[in-house]
Amino acid sequence: RPGHSHKMCSSDKQFCQYPKAAFTRLLVLQKGFYDGFPVTKVMMKPVTGRRHQLRIHCSSLGHTIVGDFTYSNGKDVLPYRMFLHSHRLILPTAIETIDVCGGDPFL
């Protein structure tokens, strides 16, 4: 769509053509406040690997990721970046499986 060329869509939108299935597992870890607004810290695991999958699923639930300017329709301008982080990456290769686990940046 004009003005939305970099956004993906979900099947509940009328304008979405040929949507593909995507599945995400979500676990609530903590609830709190960010700059006076209620926020929830969650761990998400994309079961499928669609582009912007985690961002779209959060937006579809009505709770965009803090700082996600694109999927909040330009409303979330408060933080200087999007608060989406990889906690763990597992990369299987022909030689070995690389397993990297990072710390929690929100402690």
Instruction: Express each pLDDT in 6-19 by its tens digit.
Output: 566 665 666 566 76
Instruction: Report pLDDT for 99.
Output: 96
Give pLDDT tens digits for 55-100. Answer: 888 888 888 888 888 878 777 777 778 888 888 889 999 999 999 9
The Cα-based distances of 41 to 8, 31, 60, 61 in angstroms read 23, 6, 17, 15
Instruction: Report pLDDT for 70.
Output: 80
Instruction: Report pLDDT for 56.
Output: 86
Q: Measured between alpha carbons, how far is 67 from 83 in angstroms, rounded to an integer?
A: 6
Instruction: Kindly report whether the global pTM for this prediction surpasses the value 0.85.
Output: no
Question: For residues 1 and 23, which has the higher predicted lDDT (pLDDT)?
Answer: 23
